[in-house]
Amino acid sequence: MLEQIKILSSRRAYEFHQDDLRLSVLSMKPVQQQFQELFRFQTSAMGSPSPTFGDVPATYPPGFVFDMGVWISPDEQLVPIRLLHFEQRRVVIDVAGPSSSIAAIFEKVREFFSDLHAPDGSPVIGKPERILDYSEITVRFPFSLDSLIAEPFRKLLQEVFPERNDTNNEMIPTFSVQINPADKEYAGIPSLQDVHSLSFALRAGTKPQDHVYFSGAPLDSEAHLRYLNELEKTLTS
């Protein structure tokens, strides 16, 4: 049974066909101001968003960035919105909460723009063609992370790191898994926060003996928790 579960962040990208996201409407100041008030964003600006799910094309307008807002759920739970960014073909929403909140926030975004149209009559936001997810969770497991190291390799590492034989020390491995086409060059080891890879590591700022781990995965938070439950069952068995 998982313990001390904390969903640090859930992020989702809604991707659109070319010209199905009309940034020109957002460039109008009254629209920006009303949208900022909709989620009570502390900051907003026209500019190129950070590349959360991939490169951001250079366009004009370059995009719109809304940061640090809040959404109130039907049961009156406050959900912090870390960012809501509009790119040329992508809307990215990041919350400090479960992924289920993002779906509700996006519906509110679409509702806001439903009464607005581009000068040619087309809707401001069309239908997404693809949805990408990423989430970060910390959790306490009942084992040390070095137990994931195969025994022959563990013995070799103990020879390489003789200080490991001191009972006060632990080996701290970091695991990262990503999918790469067999016929394409490998770009290199991703960061722990890479949205396209699955990562598992000791939580920074904690002690190894606490057994608190960070997990990042290209999954919504609900699927991510199911994966962590299965991981815990597999490793404790």
What residue type is assigned to position 202 of the chain?
Answer: L
CB contact at 8 A, 85 and 91: yes
The chain-wide mean pLDDT, for the chain, equals: 91
Ranges 50-54, 70-74, 149-153, 187-191: which has the least confidence: 187-191
Is the pLDDT confidence value at 164 over 70?
A: no
Burial of 221 (0-12, 13-18, 19+ CB in 10 A): buried
Instruction: List, for residues 94-152, the tens digit of each pLDDT value.
Output: 999 999 999 999 999 999 999 888 888 888 999 999 999 999 999 999 888 887 788 88
DSSP states of 108-129 as a string?
HHHHHHTT-B-TTS-BSB---S
Phi-psi label, residue 211: left if phi above 0, alpha if psi -120 to 50, beta otherwise: left
Structure token pair of residue 98: 């479960």
Q: Predicted confidence band at 159 (pLDDT cuts at 50, 70, 90)?
A: confident
Length of the chain in terms of residues written: 237
Is the pLDDT confidence value at 1 over 80?
A: no
Give percent of the chain with pLDDT exceeding 90: 58
Q: How far apart are CA 53 and CA 63, in angstroms?
A: 15
Please tell me the predicted confidence (pLDDT) of residue 236: 81
Instruction: Tell me the helix, strand and coil percentages in the chain, rounded to 5.
Output: 30, 30, 45
Phi-psi label, residue 25: left if phi above 0, alpha if psi -120 to 50, beta otherwise: alpha
Mean pLDDT calculated for residue range 204-225: 95
Please tell me the predicted confidence (pLDDT) of residue 39: 96
| Bigger pLDDT: 40 vs 166 | 40
